[in-house]
Each structure stands twice: as C-alpha cells, then as structure tokens.
A and B are shown apart, each in its own frame.
Chain A
Amino acid sequence: MVKKLFVIIVLIGLAVFFYGMLSSFSGNETLNMSAAYYAENGAEEVGAANLVTAIVVTYRGLDTLGEVTILFLTAAIAAFFLKSKDNFSKRKVKESSELLKTASSMLVPLIFTLGIYVFVNGHLTPGGGFQGGAILASGLVLLLLSEPLQKVNSVLFAVVESISGLFYVGIGVAGIFLAGGFLDNSILPLGEFGTLLSAGALPVIYILVGLKVGSELSGLLTKFQETQEEN
C-alpha cells in the first residue's frame, strides 16, 4: 500500500515536472548557427544527398567513431564473460517448426539484401551503417532461431569486424594527410551529386561502419548461442 502510494506520488511529481517543461517550450523559428552552416554548405562541401549522413559521418565523424568504439567495447566485454563451452554440438534442442524454417529460408536473404542496401545507400537515402548493420544482425538471429544447431563461424565475424574498424580509422588518418583533417571525405573525388559513387570517402566509411556493426552484433549473438548449456 505504501509502495503504491509512493509510485503514485512519483508519477504525479513527474507529471508536474513534464508539464512545466512543456508549457515553457517554444520551438526555434530559425536554425542555429552550426545547423544553418550545415544546411547551406553541406551539399556543396560533402556532396551527400542525405544531409544527416553528411553531418554524422563527416562534420561529426569523431562522434560516430566514438559510438562504434562503445559498441566494440560492449561486444568485447560481453564476449569476455560468455566463454564458449565444449558441449555445443551435443546439445539437444527442440526442432523448430516447419513454418519458421520455411519463412526464414525465404526471408533471410531478403533481409540481408535490405541491410546491405541500407548501408550502401547511406549517403543518398535515410539510413546508414548502424541501421544496416542492425538489419544484418537481426537477419542472423532469425537464422539462428530457425536452425538452433547451425554452426556459425564466429572467427569470421571477428576478422571482418577488426579489418573494417582498422580501415575506418585508416581512412580517417588518410584525411589528415590528403585532405582537410581527420575523417575528411574529400580524399576521394566528390563525384556527381546524388549518384551512388559520390560524396568522396563517405560511402566507403558507411559500408565499413555497416560491416563493423553487423559483424559485431552477429558475433555477440553467435557467442551467446555457443555459450548455452544443455537443456
């Protein structure tokens, strides 16, 4: 009873707090200085049709590198605790239903294609490396869900992930020497605005981020699958 009363008091307090925030909120009529700069010069300087990508990968590229690093650390720490056991192949699991098996064998290639499409076209359409990588990983979970004993090569994921991370930082460092600074995308020609091969190194970076995020999450899930004990 006291607990419920406490919850209600906290909820009322939150409601009052949020109401205060809402009533004092007024939207900006104009863009602030940096946003206005990005909106005016982004297309010209970076050459990406999707301005969000131009900001995320080029102007704020260091933040993206930080996000990828956080994800990498999370995956590394989780993998450290999830030690794989030897009894993996001896495990008895319930057979998946026919419906799930058939549906996943039809859907998984489509999901993988969609994921690759999303990160290859990150500089033209909404989406990018993170989204594409997450789509790839969810395709892999569907595969694991339908075939629980499927042996997935987790070493491959580790290799793909390390190589793409290395190349990502390598492109960033190349920007210092060949262009305006770290992660500058004009080390490659900007190309024609709005085509697939445009915006300099930006598509390359997003493909690398997509591969890195996808293989990282997939590797994490594979480790998770290997760790399970017999049930």
Chain B
Amino acid sequence: MLSLIIMISLSVLILASAILAVQTKNLVVAVIAAGLVSLMASIGYLLLAAPDVAMTEAAIGSGLSTIIFFYVLNRVRGRDNG
C-alpha cells in the first residue's frame, strides 16, 4: 500500500515537473524540470525492482542530457539572452 502511495505521488510529481518544463519562460528552470522528470522516473524504476534501468535513466536522462542542455545554454546565452 505504501509503495502504491509513493508511486502515485511520484507520477504526480513527474506530471507536474513535465508541465512546468513546457510552460515556464525561464530556460534554466525548464532544463532542471526536465531533468527532474527523469530523476523521478528513475526512483520509480528502483521501487519496481529494476536498478539497472534506474541507473541508466539517472545517468543518461537526468545526468548527461541535463548537463548537455546547460552546456548549450551557456554557449547560446551570449547572443540573445535566451
């Protein structure tokens, strides 16, 4: 029962951060929210006893892609205040 509650709250958090990522005007917030979606999803995989998938999601989804977005944002920003 407890795990069901945790899963449902994780799903709500995933939805909330996904909507935030799409709707926000601030690009930094959008990138962090998109990374948060992956982080929550990886916690979900961990609770569903799939640590390997959770690790992939955390490493690629919330680690690598977030940091690449920041890298690009850092470069682009000088031109048009993105």
- A contact residues vs B (CB 8 Å cutoff): 50, 52-53, 56, 94, 118, 126-128, 130-131, 134-135, 137-138, 141-142, 144-145, 217, 221, 228, 231
Contacts and interface: CB of A to CB of B under 8 A. Distances in A.
A77 to B, nearest CB: 17
Interface in B28-82: 51-52, 54-56, 59-60, 63-64, 67-68, 70-71, 74-75, 78-79
B52 A145 contact: no
Contact of B67 (A118, A127, A145): A145
B68 A126 contact: no
A94 B76 CA distance: 12
Contacts of A130: 56, 60
A142 B64 CA distance: 10
Nearest to A135: B59
Nearest to B62: A138
A137 B64 contact: yes
Interface residues of B, number: 17
A231 B59 CA distance: 31
B1 to A, nearest CB: 17
A141 B67 contact: yes
Contacts of B70: 145
B74 A131 contact: no
A167 B54 CA distance: 28
A126 B51 contact: yes
Contact of A231 (B64, B71, B78): B78
Nearest to B54: A126
A70 to B, nearest CB: 14
Interface of B: 51-52, 54-56, 59-60, 63-64, 67-68, 70-71, 74-75, 78-79
Interface class of chain A by DSSP? helix
Contacts of A217: 64
Contact of B60 (A134, A141, A228): A134
B71 A141 contact: yes
Contacts of B79: 231
Contact of A128 (B52, B74, B78): B52
B49 to A, nearest CB: 10
B78 to A, nearest CB: 5
Given A94-B78, A145-B70, A127 B64 contact: no
A50 B55 CA distance: 14
16 contacts: A56-B52, A118-B55, A127-B51, A127-B52, A131-B52, A134-B59, A134-B63, A135-B63, A138-B59, A141-B64, A141-B67, A141-B68, A145-B71, A221-B68, A221-B71, A228-B75
